[in-house]
Structure 1
Amino acid sequence: MAAVLLAGQRLPIAPGQSVLDTLLAAGIDIAHGCGVGVCARCLVRTDPSLAPESAQRPLRSALRTRGYLLACQCRPNADLPIELIDAQALQVSATVVEARKIAPDICRLRLEPDLPFAYQAGQFIHLGAPDGSARAYSLASLPERDRYLELHVERIPGGRVSGWLHDHVRAGDRVTFSGPCGEAVYSPGQEQTPILAVATGTGLAPLLAVARDALASGHRGLLHLYHGARSVAGLYGRGWLEELLRDHDTFAVHHCLSGSGVSGSGVETKAPGVDSEVEPARPDDTLGLRHGRALDLALVDHPDLRGWRVYLCGHPDMVRAGRKRAYLAGAAMADILGDPFLPT
């Protein structure tokens, strides 16, 4: 039986258990959160030559080469020596330069890190709150084109971090974060490969970044982006998407409404407090709406995904279902990329 080797202790790993499970069962005090490899709070370190690839996949290359891994995703077949790490050493400090509401339950945060911060469009960071909790938020910005890091934060009922960000964080405040993480990024050298991108809610943020990155890099293949929400208010970012549509004839956007959210006249009234400069309420906004779930509509439109690259970001159920259905539609598993958005 494989074991975790920590500070002179040998902790056997029970069948089906992860390194994180083993540490917690032994009473080891280790930070942890989601348990599915998204929050990245359970980082530990080992000899880089011993780190299982599957436990390092979401991490940036600089951490992988130094032997960092996610304890919740690590199920080694042999004894694995590890050391616990000081999470504070991996924190980045930043100033909030903008905190602005762009939809009734969505705010846009722009952050200016104290030091240069390297990332790829479509990756995510883990933003810390004063109570010690941290949550993953995807970046909507481009590293080479945007001065600030941009996050789109949806208010989750009862969510400690999202509630704090909506109600208390203002321009000029200081925050800390770690990262970046995630592999749902645009791959140079695949300019002709058609792309299918499916987002729900603020899953639009990373896919907006991926689309901008692809098009700015000269992507020539088709790029279809499906954005789904339960109400028209949730279909934010239409101005940004329309700008891309005007400039790129290979780009197509599908606004998908899965719930009721349109008034009797077919137009939703803009909620008070929403930034009209970012999200103007225009009658013609609803004319392009399609009714149904974004994933369902995407696969109806594209039943054969052989040779396509597929991006999935949003609700965990959609991402899980999307991986399976895209594979069954012919997409190679290596070409199906995505990040689930856990309620926070």
Structure 2
Amino acid sequence: MTANPLALLFDGADDVLAAMRRREEAGEVDHPADAWGDLEPLHPRRLDLTVAEVVDETVTTKTFRLRKTGGGPLPPFLAGQYINLHVQVGDVRTSRAFSISSSPNAREHYDLTVRRLPGGRVSNHLLDTTEAGDRFTSGGPIGTFFHDPLYHGDDLVFLAGGSGVAPAMSMIKDIADNNLARRMTLVYGSRRADDVIFREELDELADRLPGLTVHHVIAQPGPDWTGAVTPLDGKLITSLVGPLAGRMTYLCGPPGKYEFLIDELTALGHPRRRIRYEDNSVAVQPGDDPRWPADLDPAGTVSVTVRGRKTFAMPRGQNMLEALEDNGIPQEPSCRSGECSLCRVRVCSGEVFHAQEAKLRMADTKFGFAHSCVAYPLTDVEIDV
């Protein structure tokens, strides 16, 4: 008898399917509220997590191993997905999306690999203060940046930069743990050779897995470096990975590099539909966006009125989600990059600029909704949250 393919997706799938069959045989019809009891452990609204271990990866990066508070398996996820971690920084309750760098098969923990971002509110706070035993909450695993074997094939190219190697590492561990007949070429860019996250582990996996190839690319090479050097452009990509025909290509790193890399890849004849990039990163700053009005200073101050709540001043160059958090009106986003739409606010008056990353729906435009994480007020605005 052929096993149900759904059972291969996560532990416990057989139990869920068996419960559905029992109800069907008994003539029961599930109300959505009743079904949620079965689904909630797999797709939780909230997770209570405890830091089990803090691993120093490099001088700029740590991995935080999180377990379910009280024990037990965590919800399943697909390699490449992320969780939105809720963090208290001083008086501000905020959150950030972090890709899970551990294997989907290791359900007893999630590893979040965090690199220091100059001026970063959350990354610096986590790296400087978090210890084993600290507790956090998060949403469940989410995101569309994962490998789909039905559509993406079995020959992959992954272009990563900095902590963008985290989802790549999860994909590689998935290949190793499940002995998948999948080929993957990782081109990983780092600033310095002594700041390459997972370098020893990646090289060991490349030696062990016949289908895995890892190329390190360094921006500031020392005298002993003999490998590839930036810029990572079409010419270097071709020399490292060979022909791209038919291969799914993944991008994860600084968001400002995506447009350049997509242009380089398409110039090589690689179709846009074969390029995927991670959306949970911070959006390009408005002052660096060529669409930003040239006569408006991003540092200039505007007024925001939240209906029924308060009025506050904020700089145009700060996104409205952060400004709301700073003023004690937190939202509940999952991505902070314009994809999930959970931080939407309705703009009642005034003009708002959206970053290129915003995934606006037709209804958002029609009814005046803004994705606050990538929305910047050009004028005084009134919003409803």
Same fold (TM over 0.5): yes
- Aligned counterpart for 2:251 among listed residues 312, 315, 320: 312
- The change in CA–CA distance for 1:192 and 1:157 in structure 2 (over 3 A counts) is closer
The answer to whether the Cα contact below 8 Å between 2:215 and 2:240 also exists between their aligned partners in 1 is: no
C-alpha distance in structure 1 between counterparts of 2:152 and 2:209, whole Å: 14
Asked whether 1:256 is paired with 2:196, we answer no
C-alpha distance in structure 2 between counterparts of 1:186 and 1:179, whole Å: 19
Q: What amino acid sits opposite 1:291 in the alignment?
A: V
Deviation at residue 335 of structure 1 after TM alignment: 2.9
- Aligned counterpart for 1:118 among listed residues 44, 67, 76: 76
Which residue is equivalent to 1:93?
48
- The change in CA–CA distance for 1:217 and 1:319 in structure 2 (over 3 A counts) is farther
Which residue is equivalent to 1:339?
278
Deviation at residue 316 of structure 1 after TM alignment: 0.5
Q: What amino acid sits opposite 2:203 in the alignment?
A: E
- The change in CA–CA distance for 1:162 and 1:195 in structure 2 (over 3 A counts) is same
The answer to whether the Cα contact below 8 Å between 2:53 and 2:66 also exists between their aligned partners in 1 is: yes
- The change in CA–CA distance for 1:151 and 1:342 in structure 2 (over 3 A counts) is same
Deviation at residue 202 of structure 1 after TM alignment: 0.6
The answer to whether the Cα contact below 8 Å between 2:101 and 2:169 also exists between their aligned partners in 1 is: yes
C-alpha distance in structure 1 between counterparts of 2:232 and 2:170, whole Å: 19
Asked whether 1:152 is paired with 2:113, we answer yes
C-alpha distance in structure 2 between counterparts of 1:324 and 1:184, whole Å: 20
Q: Equivalences for 1:103-252 in 2 at 5 Å?
A: 103-114=58-69, 116-130=74-88, 131-145=92-106, 147-189=108-150, 193-252=154-213
C-alpha distance in structure 2 between counterparts of 1:293 and 1:144, whole Å: 35
RMSD: 2.7
Query: TM-score, normalising length from structure 1?
Result: 0.61
Number of equivalenced pairs = 235
Deviation at residue 197 of structure 1 after TM alignment: 0.6
Deviation at residue 133 of structure 1 after TM alignment: 1.2
Asked whether 1:327 is paired with 2:327, we answer no
C-alpha distance in structure 1 between counterparts of 2:264 and 2:175, whole Å: 24
Which residue is equivalent to 2:25?
none
- The change in CA–CA distance for 1:235 and 1:294 in structure 2 (over 3 A counts) is farther
Which residue is equivalent to 1:75?
none
Secondary structure, aligned partner of 2:57? strand
Q: What amino acid sits opposite 1:199 in the alignment?
A: A
Deviation at residue 254 of structure 1 after TM alignment: 0.5
Deviation at residue 146 of structure 1 after TM alignment: 5.4
Query: TM-score, normalising length from structure 2?
Result: 0.55
C-alpha distance in structure 2 between counterparts of 1:94 and 1:203, whole Å: 23
Deviation at residue 183 of structure 1 after TM alignment: 1.8
Deviations 1:45-88 (A, max 9, x none): xxxxxxxxxxxxxxxxx9xxx9xxxxxxxxxxxxxxxxxxxxxx
What residue ranges of structure 1 are gaps of 5+ in the alignment? Answer: 1-61, 67-88, 267-285
- The change in CA–CA distance for 1:321 and 1:201 in structure 2 (over 3 A counts) is same
Which residue is equivalent to 1:290?
228
Q: What amino acid sits opposite 2:188 in the alignment?
A: H
Deviation at residue 222 of structure 1 after TM alignment: 3.5
Secondary structure, aligned partner of 2:141? strand
Deviation at residue 214 of structure 1 after TM alignment: 3.2
Q: What amino acid sits opposite 2:229 in the alignment?
A: H
Q: What amino acid sits opposite 1:175 in the alignment?
A: F
The answer to whether the Cα contact below 8 Å between 2:104 and 2:170 also exists between their aligned partners in 1 is: no
What residue ranges of structure 2 are gaps of 5+ in the alignment? Answer: 1-31, 37-43, 284-335, 337-385
Which contiguous aligned blocks of 4+ residues in structure 1 show a shift greater than 6 angstroms? none
Secondary structure, aligned partner of 1:311? strand
C-alpha distance in structure 2 between counterparts of 1:298 and 1:146, whole Å: 35
C-alpha distance in structure 2 between counterparts of 1:189 and 1:217, whole Å: 17
Which residue is equivalent to 2:373?
none
C-alpha distance in structure 2 between counterparts of 1:295 and 1:180, whole Å: 32
C-alpha distance in structure 1 between counterparts of 2:86 and 2:183, whole Å: 37
Deviation at residue 303 of structure 1 after TM alignment: 6.2
Q: What amino acid sits opposite 1:342 in the alignment?
A: V
C-alpha distance in structure 2 between counterparts of 1:299 and 1:113, whole Å: 43
C-alpha distance in structure 2 between counterparts of 1:124 and 1:192, whole Å: 22
C-alpha distance in structure 2 between counterparts of 1:239 and 1:203, whole Å: 17
C-alpha distance in structure 1 between counterparts of 2:121 and 2:156, whole Å: 35
| Structure possessing the higher relative contact order (Cα contacts under 8 Å, 6 or more residues apart) | 1
Taking only the aligned residue pairs, the percentage that are identical comes to: 26
Deviations 1:214-237 (A, max 9, x none): 344444353210110111133121
C-alpha distance in structure 1 between counterparts of 2:151 and 2:180, whole Å: 8
